[in-house]
Amino acid sequence: MTSKFDLFVIGGGSGGVRAARYASSLGINTGIAEGSRLGGTCVNKGCIPKKLYSFASHYSEELNLMRSFGWKIDKSKFSWNKLVKNKKKELFRLNNIYQNLLENSKVKIFEDYAEFVDQNTLKVGNKYIHSKNILIAVGTKPRELNKFSNVNILSSDEAFDLKKLPKNILIMGGGYIAVEFASIFNGLGVNTSLCVRGKRILSDFDKEISEFIMQQMQEKGVKIIVEDFPEKIQLKQKDYQVFFKNKTRRYEKVMGALGRVPNISKLKIENAKIKLNFKGAIHTDDLFKTSAKNIYAIGDVIDKVQLTPVAISEAMTFVNNLKSNNKKKFNYKNIPTAVFSNPNYAFVGYSENEAKKIYKKIKVYKSQFRSLKFSMSNSKEKVLIKLITNALNDKIVGLHYAGENAAEIIQGFSVAVVNGLTKSQLDKTIGIHPTCAEEVVTLKT
């Protein structure tokens, strides 16, 4: 028996669920297939558990700070098992919320993986689906490290559910996932090392800010190995023996965090003649159309901007276009982004180097200072703020903040940047004192 739909969504992550719910609310007969837990990477293996673990890792510093404010802390003990258990409870709650949202929106849910039979037909488990339009929103998965296939290298997905914390760990990679996990493990008391092939971590981000974060992380105890990468890894007894260029080191755990790749291996996209781009992501035009008629794709699987709010907004744009036959293109400019490292980093707009390539002349305003919160302790933590303008019209084209609560601060200032605020207009704002955020409205060259 074949089920028929006007729109069928493959993937129950943030983008897929939003597209299905919204389409159904507009009267489009909609179904969705998800073979794992609803919520996708963000809820189950990404944003949510990562932020929860990031919170947990900061409390060791908070306890030390409390002593400088007069609090007497006799004993403190961290339980990894309790953190994992409570995390699972929270994710289960969110999974159920997604389930209820879909059911209340009258979306037909298929709890299995989908694969293409042809351009309008899918096989989901032992059922066949025919749909006028199909939306692919399957997200990504951790990149496999084939070079080290002889040993069991931990992935970022697996790191959330370790049976116990290791005494020490090596994290391979310098992107945001690697840096975030290095901060988490270090904050939880694990002797943490990070190795990168280049000269710095976060190489795709503003150079000055990434160097600042690297220095701050090192002061907090993370060992960062630059311009070196494992040539060979062997399991010796219970430890990993890691061979670098000129040195061999031993670790209890080794984790690979070298990015994520489109999660398309189960889709059988060749049956629908769907083309991939040079990165191996599903190729789409500006309206999310793939190379196959009436098949679309959104979210991380198209590798435009891999962020949950972007996938959700892409979903809304896609459904609106589908319903009204519009041709509205998605605007990827000035999307605020955060790295939940320790210290936090968030920004909106261009890096200094990007701005130099785009504008004839720029101005850079900076401030580095110690937060009042740390002034009575022995903490060396600092804040770095960097604002970039187009010197010809004074418009803010980039704002970067490295320090506690960076994401919360940048989220608010993003409104200004997105709407073309100038530095002169920003300067008219009276700051709230004493705060770190007030420095943004008092920046000087």
- DSSP structure string for 123-148: EETTEEEEEEEEEE---EEEPP-GGG
pLDDT digits (tens, 9 = 90+) for 268-288: 999 999 999 998 999 999 999
Do strands 337-339 and 345-349 pair parallel, antiparallel, or not at all (unpaired)? antiparallel
Question: Is the bond leading into 343 cis (omega within 30 degrees of zero)?
Answer: yes
Sign of CA dihedral 152, 157, 158, 160: positive
Return the closest-CA partner of residue 156 out of 309, 240, 49.
Answer: 49
**Cα–Cα distance for residue pair 247/173, rounded to 1 Å:** 18
Q: Do domains 146-258 and 343-442 have the same CATH topology?
A: no
Q: Which residues are CB-neighbours of 211 under 8 A, at least 6 positions away?
A: 200
What is the domain partition of the chain in residue ranges? 2-142+261-324, 146-258, 343-442
Please state the φ and ψ torsions of residue 393, each to the nearest 5 degrees: -130, 5
Q: Which residues are CB-neighbours of 89 under 8 A, at least 6 positions away?
A: none
Q: Find the mean pLDDT for residues 47-52.
A: 98
**What's the confidence (pLDDT) of residue 29?**
98
In a 10 Å sphere around its CB, with 0-12 CB exposed, 13-18 middle and 19+ buried, how is residue 1 labelled? exposed
CATH class of 343-442: alpha beta
pLDDT digits (tens, 9 = 90+) for 348-390: 999 999 999 999 999 999 999 999 999 999 888 999 999 999 9
Q: Is 433 a catalytic residue?
A: yes
Mean residue pLDDT across the chain = 96
pLDDT digits (tens, 9 = 90+) for 146-168: 889 889 999 999 999 999 999 99
194 neighbors 201 (Cβ within 8 angstroms): yes
Inform me whether the pLDDT recorded for 193 exceeds 70: yes
116-130: burial string, b at 16+ Cβ within 10 Å, e else:
beeebbbbbeeeebe
Question: Tokens 């919520």 correspond to what residue?
Answer: 39
Inform me whether the pLDDT recorded for 1 exceeds 80: no
The one catalytic residue in 58, 283, 400, 433 is: 433
Name the pTM for this structure: 0.96
For 76, the token pair is 């403190």
CATH of 146-258, one of 1.20.120.340, 3.50.50.60, 1.10.10.10, 3.40.50.720: 3.50.50.60
Q: Could you confirm whether domain 2-142+261-324 is CATH 3.50.50.60?
A: yes
